[in-house]
Structure 1
Amino acid sequence: MKQNFTVRQGALDGVEAFLSVAEHRSFRRAAAQLGVTPSAISQTIRMLEARVGAALFVRTTRSVGLTEAGERFLSRAKPAFEELIGASELARELGQKPAGLLRLSVPSAAVPIVLEPLIASFCRAYPEVEVEVVASAELVDLAAEGFDAGVRMGQFIEADMVAVRLTPPFPFMVVGNPDYFRRCGRPERIDDLRSHHCLRMRRSNGAIAPWPFVDGHKAVEAIVSGPLIAQDYPTLLGAAIRGVGLAHVPGPIAAAPIADGRVETVLMPFAVTTPGVFLYHSGRHQALPKLRAFIEHVKFNH
């Protein structure tokens, strides 16, 4: 037989009044503590006893005592009520100041470029907040997976999310090692990629991502082939730096190796520009102080 574990409506009504009367052994003193009249306390206790189905107090003109049922009720109700009060206090603290665990879902490529400087300064500014960064290429359901916010490129964020910009718009670049270009030549047109070793990305849904470009005002997706498939941009960029082939990667993660000459760009006239990287979450009214503090920190530092 299936048991019903649902708490009855009003099942906790009167428990605080009962505990106060049990503590003071007085309806009058309990009423003073709770800021109500003695008659209101008496009525509340009568209603509780009716729900429980047993007398909880022995009342005389001079004293108030607990029945055996009242003693048993007290032994279980008092610690349970104190736990509820403690839980409420913890929840209230999290609702009033930045504290607790802030969980972020972030693509691995964004961690060193976008988040590391922010997280370091945020942790110094808010020592009562613990930040957990879960690096994943998958687009996760924030609420279902227990995340406070995520970080993604703007084109992948659902329209019902609140987004906060982390980077300006940037291009996707085709990059390769100078030695690779000496061996294989430099592609001048999109079609030239057919004869090159192109390092490809497998999306979280299992599909191989084409390389997007813009030819004039026309969007073009190039189907490329090559010796390596990976699931993140840093792996593809690392392989390109080592001369394995060409990689099509976000501009910010390629900036350092471009600057020091480890890779060079090609096909820049055809580069597609993305909206940039954003922090996103489900809505302002649901954001706890820890997330609001992180959002303000992001805005202040960008």
Structure 2
Amino acid sequence: MTSTLTPATHRASFSLAGETDARRAVDTLTEVFFEGDAAVAAFERPDGRWDVTVHFAQEPDRDLVRELVAGAAGADIAQTISFDVVEAKDWVKASLDDLVPVPAGRFVVHGSHDRARVPPNKLGIEIEAALAFGTGHHGTTRGCLLLLDHLLKSRSPRRVLDLGTGTGVLAIAAAKSCHAKSCRQSRHQPILASDIDSPSVAVARDNMRINSVAPGVRVIRATGFAAPDFAREGPFDLVLANILANPLRQLAGPMRRHLAPSAHVILSGLLTPQARAVVAAYRARGLVPVRQLRIDGWSSLLLRYEG
């Protein structure tokens, strides 16, 4: 493992009540600070609030930062900004130290440094810390894996789609399960995995090769269901979508049009209070909830299409 010592950075942090305010603040800060001068990120917390963090290469003008945040989110929020310095650290080593193997049913998600810790009766999924989302340590990914494991004990879907694949962990799990069942290529076509983000597509393709499932998974860059690949390779017997609540609600209609009769859908990326609205959107399209898992404040759903 190569040591990657990240230089010390200056950080500004604050919290906002909702997604709209967080997006406005991020947009404002991104417009002012050039790429390389600052990195802006926003994350939703389990309680529904949003944390916004800005990392600066050089010590920032604090008054300017407060002025920008005040314009985007109000003077009261600007007064709550905290400034500190993040010391130099080998973040790669630190992240790997934290990424212990994660069991999820028959699956174990692990890094390359933990290959030997995967029990022989489990299906190891090797995922390194990367830019793409999904190492198995987040409650949404683990929830999806547990539901997938539950479903595949009684089902053997022929056409599988991993929508918003991130690191590719769910597609890898489905492909390894198929291999463990000795699925015949004449019955099971390659899994289709898609992501809107080009770096995620590259990471996912690398992970397919690392996990020896590349021939059984095709990874594409696509937004929603717009690419012709979905119509060509569907309708799908199983769709996996670990995204976010709002995009999942918007995708309910397009997804239904790409489902085979009696198909199953596994959804996650939902804070538990958001699950009811997502279920309602899919129930309106003929999908009924079968099972719901709650892990660390996040919900994962298994639904069946009755169309």
Q: TM-score, normalised by structure 2?
A: 0.24
Between Structure 1 and Structure 2, the one with more strand by share is 2
Between Structure 1 and Structure 2, the one with more helix by share is 1
**Greater length-normalized contact order (CA 8 Å, ≥ 6 residues apart):** 1
Q: TM-score, normalised by structure 1?
A: 0.24
Which structure would you say has the larger Rg? 1
